Amino acid sequence: MESHGQYAQQVVWTVVDTGIGPLLLAATPEGLVNVAFHATGTTRERALERLAARLGADPVEAPGSPLLAEAIRQMTAYLAGMRRDFDLALDWSLISGFNREVLRELASGVPYGSVVGYGDLASRVGQPAAAQAVGMAMGANPLPVVVPCHRVVESGGRIGGFGGGVDTKRQLLALEGVLPEPLF
């Protein structure tokens, strides 16, 4: 049996406890497919149900899976301030069209420690009037943190929304040196 053989045709997942709360990481043989915030109880169950429905396979809890090992290592290092970039295979199958184009531009064009406005990101993908659509793409991001939607802010520098909550967005931006650390 090849090294990934027992996980072929499966979606594997685990929950990693982090300083920003429990994160569900899910992977397929293609790569990391999903990161979900607040991954406890019903939130975790809903995320797993969505994955099963979208990918056509029941996710299998497999914290020791080689499909997850590098994602766990890199996420842990990033959140400890010891890593600036992710170098992971990504499975983009949960996102397509304009949303995928925007997220790929975000992942490749907005480096650690910087931010971009929704309108600026829309312009980068050749759709300067699509700032609201960029906001929708951020909300649909199946790979937050790895595809850094926390780096997208409103015009005038307002922080904007975030699927993991505004406090989590602030923590991530503080980790990257964009915002000061909260005092309490």
All residues at 6 or more sequence positions from 71 whose CB lies less than 8 Å from its CB, including other chains:
25, 27, 32, 88, 146
Total Cβ atoms within 10 A of residue 70: 16
> CA-CA distance, 95 to 51, in Å (whole number)?
12
> CA-CA distance, 144 to 34, in Å (whole number)?
8
* Residue 182 DSSP symbol: P
Q: Point out the catalytic residue in the list 103, 116, 149, 153.
A: 149
Total Cβ atoms within 10 A of residue 45: 11
149 is catalytic: yes
Assigned token pair, 13: 């997942």
Beta bridge partners of 23: 16
Residues serving a catalytic function are 149
